[in-house]
A and B are shown apart, each in its own frame.
Chain A
Amino acid sequence: MSDYLLSTPAQTQAMLDTVGKTRETLFDSIPASLKLKRPLNLPKGLSEMEVLAKLSALAAKNKVYATILRGAGAEHHYIPAVVKNFGSREEFVSAYTPYQAEFSQGILQSIFEYQSAICELTGMDGANASVYDGATAAAESIQMVLERTRKTVLIADTVNPQTIATIQTYTQYLDIDIRLVETKNGALDLATLKPLLNETIAGVLVQHPNYWGVLEDVGTLSVDIHAAGAKLIVYGHPLAMTVLKSPRALGADIAVGEAQSLGLSLAYGGPYLGYMATTNDLVRRLPGRIVGQTVDTDGKRAFVLTLQAREQHIRREKATSSLCSNQALCALTASVYVAVMGPQGLTEVAQHGLRRAHYFQKELAKIGFPLAYNQPFFHEFVTTGNFNAIDVEAVLDRHNILSGLPVGEHELLWCVTETTDKATLDRVIAILKEELA
């Protein structure tokens, strides 16, 4: 058994003597009738060697694919060694929220740099210190756009279904109307959206590139959204922003999304990293922790948690969000990733995905997997055709390849990143051609 305790039996006895208690009486403030009258029914503790064997055996029961052609909000990217290194450095890992600014400048500065990078990618003026994931970032953003007479938010049905579901959960008992906008051909078009815009609409949420990988025509939509007095929330992909126009440049008032692609592993869905950024007009409506720059008593630059008047520990029941943490270590990991890749490296990661996805799509089309939506896309796309999606998944599984995500009887949502080179894509095509023939 491991216990991580320090007191020797003699020290424990000495402390009990000092407080005038025994092992039996220390918990006397708990009424006897409530006490658990048996030991916890859990296995005996294991030595570190035994724990390692047990957990390693569990890990070995999971299949780690050699090739991953699936995204849908969780992407496989190369993580440089230096990123893993600093993401596990003890001073960062074992610290609490940086309440004591003088003692936590390293953590505060790392978050400030994360906020700066998010602002630069999204084109925004201010970002928060991060939230749990992209879905909760989107859910938290809904309250930011509400006005007294505008309580309806429109969401394109091309947004990640888990994000939509999370928004619906978050808002179900609030005075908010969430309406899904049905799309045709994999993207939201102005003709569909325009009739729905009126003086009750607080905001419109669009994912770009959307869940199907398609580039939405956000720039065009934003003109009419703003003309109707509503706000635009863009759920975007941080790597794609190195190639695509930023959400701000497309007219967004708020940029939110999932930043797992910036150096975080797939990890069976978490921990991930939700980012939130906005314009100066709305910055005081951001929920959660925010780090700001200030000075110390000597006038030296310093960083501190700021704009706390928005938060739960001050406002209590008047707070619109109960967030009291962030994903600081994930934000730090993303910051190290962004730094060591640099603008050039990030662009190349995005370009590799863009180029290889298009190459792969063309090759798939040749062997009976046409595009489901004839739309411009980035590094994800949906194929259709006559093959059963589950069969395709099974064929590739036998070759240690995780296929695109089956999203319909014949439809697969593929994602290609810098981790799969052209030779591997050619091999995937050869396997499909041979085994599905």
Chain B
Amino acid sequence: MSQLIFERSVTGRRGIRLPDYDCPAVNLDDTQLRSTTPRLASVSEVDVTRHYMALSRQAFGVDNGFYPLGSCTMKHNPKINDHMASLAGFTGIHPTQNLETVEGALELMDGLQRDLCEVTGMDAFTLQPSAGAHGEFTGLLLIRAYHQSRNDTKRTKVIVPDSAHGTNPASANMAGYSVVSIPSNPQGGVDVEALKAVLSDEIAALMLTNPNTLGLFDPNIAQIADLVHQVGGLLYYDGANLNAIMGQVRPGDMGFDVVHLNLHKTFSTPHGGGGPGSGPVGVKGLLMPFLPEGTLIDKTYPKLPKSIGRMRSYFGNFLVNVRAYTYIQSLGGEGLAEASFMAVLNANYLMERLKAHYPVAYPGTCMHEFVLSLQDLKDSTGVRAMDLCKAMLDNGIHPPTMYFPLIVHEALMIEPTETESKETLDDFADMMIGFKEKAISDPDFFKNAPYTTPVKRVDDVLAARKPILKASL
């Protein structure tokens, strides 16, 4: 725990100084004026520097170490990407500048859209959505606009598998749809019979992640797509797991009509501690007329009479898109395919090393991630998935995703990514194997972990029961 910046404040101390006033004071009406100066920290640049250095020592990014957080694709963020995104020609342009003064930006966005079309097999992309969930909402509005344009108004339901990310049903709700949840089959894929049972002319779409959140490619996808299309529904592809399949198979070729990508996952742009991300949406031709207002088409922003409307201000998270474009230029088509190959190989190798020690929830060849169930360990030792994760912190490893997907008990979802070495994977596997022995001999060790972090386990119940959401100033 560090001091808060406000606790470093000394009245009268200053940081950055501004030029002297060179224009006369303005008298606004008293009823409009603040009577007291905001109680913000009065600190020097030295205080600020020491403060944020202290905070940075209590943060952990993929630059610090292994980060196998399932479904989040914590791959290396190449430094050249950030360097390119800091060029004045990109940071210094106003979004309302005339098109002839931003030709470089338009060329870059157009190029990125084309590249994403090729990787996914879609016909057009919009770069406006700013994150995966924003992309999902955009995609569902596109689907809704499509059905409405055909006066097909009885479609009120969206099907979502029980293994889906929570954003899927929430986004469907925001688009005014009710959600039909369907179970997974014993192999972890879509239960085709259960799907058939809920298909009707009331279905607007099926939302699917493939490979799914268990890290498994659903081999029935072509049949699933046909079934949904036969009743007039559309297929939505959650691109969170695209890192598994680049150059191997494309959502567009699987039958999907609309996809969102997470450029902050597959295309290596940094997560920034929670954002900014970028969640471009790709569509087949039938959805193109409905793309958001502010979508670049042929290097211009045409008025789209049937558009779903604007999803945010301007054109999306441009500087994030600059990073993704840089990444694609660096790797090229061959490099993207190789990235997916190594991501899948690393995951399978790690799973192979662990599977004798921890049950894999759905055995078989995985894609870029796999899910272990620690239910047996919990039953025999009392050590939960969470306890094991907390012990990883002491080893300088960011834990995998815990307790997701919801259909696996005591789940640990592990995604090593392609930018990790065999040595790192071996070290992680050795640690996990050692943890199991230790859990049997000394379960309390895990229940009290972590030991070396800046704070011990935090009381999140207290935080929610008596919320303190700001410093007392």
Contacts and interface: CB of A to CB of B under 8 A. Distances in A.
A45 interface: yes
A147 interface: no
Contact of A358 (B23, B171, B322): B23
Interface string B433-472: 0000000000000000010011111111011100111110
A1 B48 contact: no
Given A96-B67, A283-B469, A26 B310 contact: no
A119 to B, nearest CB: 4
Contacts of A294: 458-460, 462-463, 468
B56 A89 contact: yes
B452 to A, nearest CB: 9
Interface residues of B, number: 202
Contact of A63 (B48, B101, B320): B101
B332 A344 contact: no
Interface string A1-14: 11111110001101
B469 to A, nearest CB: 4
Interface in A113-134: 113, 115-117, 119-121, 125-127, 129-130, 132-134
A125 B469 contact: yes
A303 B390 CA distance: 16
Contact of B88 (A57, A64, A100): A64
Contacts of B16: 80, 82, 340-342, 345
A31 B101 contact: no
Contacts of B67: 96
Contacts of A125: 469-470
Contacts of A249: 34
Contacts of A261: none
Contacts of B23: 352, 355-356, 358-359, 422
B136 interface: yes
A58 B276 contact: no
A316 B166 contact: yes
A244 B33 CA distance: 4
Contact of B313 (A68, A80, A135, A344): A135
Contacts of B349: 15, 18-19
A317 interface: yes
A384 interface: no
Contacts of A89: 52, 56
A70 interface: yes
Contacts of A132: 130-131, 134, 275-276, 312, 317
B467 A51 contact: no
B332 A46 contact: yes
Given A95-B61, A294-B458, A324 B133 contact: yes
Nearest to A34: B249
Contacts of A52: 80, 83-84
Interface in B264-294: 268, 270-277, 292-293
A104 B320 CA distance: 23
A40 B246 contact: yes
B334 A120 contact: no
A219 interface: yes
Given A320-B174, A349-B18, A92 B272 contact: yes
Interface in A53-110: 54-65, 68, 70, 72-74, 76, 80, 82, 84, 86, 88-107, 109-110
Interface stretch (A186-194, A263-271, A366-374, A427-435): A263-271
A338 B42 CA distance: 10
Contact of B247 (A36, A107, A320): A36
Interface stretch (A168-176, A198-206, A224-232): A168-176
A258 to B, nearest CB: 8
Interface stretch (B70-78, B190-198, B227-235, B376-384): B70-78
Interface in B326-375: 326, 328-339, 341-342, 344-346, 348-349, 352-353, 364-365, 367
A201 B221 CA distance: 47
Contacts of A402: 94, 97
A91 B330 contact: no
Nearest to B247: A40
Interface string A239-274: 001111110010000000010000001111111100
A107 B56 CA distance: 8
B205 interface: no
B84 to A, nearest CB: 4
B211 to A, nearest CB: 8
Contact of B167 (A46, A241, A308, A322): A322
B78 A96 contact: no
A320 B174 CA distance: 6
A221 interface: no
B258 interface: no
B106 to A, nearest CB: 9
B90 A62 contact: yes
A187 to B, nearest CB: 12
B430 interface: no
A64 B28 CA distance: 34
Nearest to B57: A106
Interface-central residue, B34, B86, B105, B272, by most chain A CB under 10 Å: B272
Contacts of A314: 166
Contact of B320 (A7, A170, A271, A422): A271
Given A91-B56, A105-B454, A268-B318, A62 B34 contact: no
Nearest to B337: A40
B95 interface: yes
Given A45-B331, A326-B274, A422-B23, A376 B40 contact: no
B5 A43 contact: no
A93 B270 contact: yes
A343 B39 contact: yes
Contacts of A100: 389, 393, 398-399
Contacts of B74: 96
Given A19-B365, A165-B310, 12 more contacts: A51-B80, A61-B89, A65-B94, A90-B61, A91-B64, A93-B82, A96-B67, A101-B455, A112-B4, A112-B469, A305-B460, A325-B277
Nearest first, the 5 A-B pairs at minimum CB distance are: A59-B89, A269-B314, A173-B176, A45-B332, A94-B61
5 contacts: A6-B419, A27-B248, A48-B80, A82-B48, A95-B272
